Amino acid sequence: MKRLKNWDNKTWLSSKSYIFQFNKFLKTKINFNKNSKILDIGCGRANIISALQKKYKFRNKPTGIDIVANKDVKRNIVFKKIEALKYLKKQKKYDLILIKQTIHFFTKTKLKHLLNLSKESLNPKGKILIFSLKTKNNKIPCFKKMRKNLEKSLKKDEVLFKIIKKNLKEISFTNFNFKVNISKQKYVRMIRERYISCLLNMSDKDIKLGISEIKSKYKNQIKFTDTLKCISYRK
Mean pLDDT over all residues of the chain?
Answer: 95
Mean pLDDT of 182-210: 95
Mean pLDDT of 25-54: 96
Q: Would 57 be classed as within a structural domain?
A: yes
Report whether pLDDT(32) > 70: yes
Report whether pLDDT(1) > 50: no
Q: Would 2 be classed as within a structural domain?
A: no
Q: Would 206 be classed as within a structural domain?
A: yes
Mean pLDDT of 5-20: 88
Identify how many contiguous H helices and E strands the chain contains and give both numbers. 7, 7
CA distance 88 to 5: 23
Cα 30 to Cα 6, 33, 132, distances in angstroms: 28, 10, 18
Mean pLDDT of 115-123: 97
Q: Would 133 be classed as within a structural domain?
A: yes
Mean pLDDT of 50-58: 97
Q: Provide the whole-model pTM.
A: 0.94
| High-pLDDT (> 90) share of the chain, % | 91
Q: Are 158 and 111 in contact (CB under 8 A)?
A: no
| Alpha-carbon dihedral 56, 133, 101, 228, rounded to 10 degrees | 10
Greatest Cα pair distance, the chain, in angstroms, is: 53
Which residue segment(s) compose the domain that 229 sits in? 12-234
pLDDT (0 to 100) of residue 75? 95
Per-residue H/E/C for 11-30: CHHHCHHHHHHHHHHHHCCC
Domains of the chain: total: 1
Mean pLDDT of 178-184: 97
Report whether pLDDT(45) > 50: yes
Residue 208's contacts (CB-CB under 8 Å, 6 or more residues apart) are none
Q: Would 173 be classed as within a structural domain?
A: yes
pLDDT, tens digit, 9 for 90 and up, residues 132-175: 999 999 999 999 999 999 999 999 999 999 999 999 988 999 99
pLDDT (0 to 100) of residue 4? 74
Q: Would 6 be classed as within a structural domain?
A: no
Buried b (16+ CB within 10 A) or exposed e, 102-113: bbeebeeeebbe
Q: Would 106 be classed as within a structural domain?
A: yes
Mean pLDDT of 81-109: 95
Give the CATH number of the domain where residue 193 resides.
3.40.50.150
Q: Would 104 be classed as within a structural domain?
A: yes
